[in-house]
Amino acid sequence: MKPLADCKLYAFVDTAYLRGRAPEVLAQQLCDGGADLIQLRAKTASLEEIRRMAEAILPITRRAGVRLVINDFPALALEVGADMAHLGQEDFFDAGHRSVDELRPPGSALGIGLSTHAPDQARRALAAGPDYIAIGPVFPTPTKPAAPPVTLDYVRWAAQHVRIPWFAIGGINLQNLDAVLAAGATRICVVSAILNANDVAAACREFRRRLG
């Protein structure tokens, strides 16, 4: 498994985009396409349903050397043996947390990522000690239609001020990717532009090629 700093393409198994496909089938396609991380995001699923999906996906990501990230539930990530967990601002700070070490027992290797939507949130997140942060949504995105885009200005800010791994996220596709990279991003999260593609693995490969 490559170091997080060397990871470029962060993909998703998002149940909002399954369209009848099995989560583990999508996970295999994402691995085949060269994704470095895969987040399991299932906003409307029960904890037990998420556990079953994670247990089905984990052997696939393990074989491929790809990190599996569980959205929202670090305790579940620990339970199933996932590599990382990701939390939004409300799930972390509004829940009273101040350090990511509060979410993992001593000696645990569980990685933690945090979402951020503005420089002040990024500074607060960085002080909490995450393994990475997400910067976005850069553009309008159907994944979070109520979230106002942070624009490329926030990407430029992150490129100048954030020293841990960070991923630009939100509405990124092959048409606007060059602008995101020109703003200073070297790592990206992609949801709909990959999951809505006719060939998921091929879409991943094209993002990988463009990332260099």
List residues with catalytic annotation.
41, 115, 144
Report the alpha-carbon angle 143-170-11, nearest 5: 80
The C-alpha atoms of residue 85 and residue 107 are separated, in whole angstroms, by 16
What contacts 182, CB < 8 A, 6 or more positions away? Answer: none
Half-sphere exposure of 209 (CA within 13 A, CB side): 8
Alpha-carbon span 21 to 3, nearest angstrom: 30
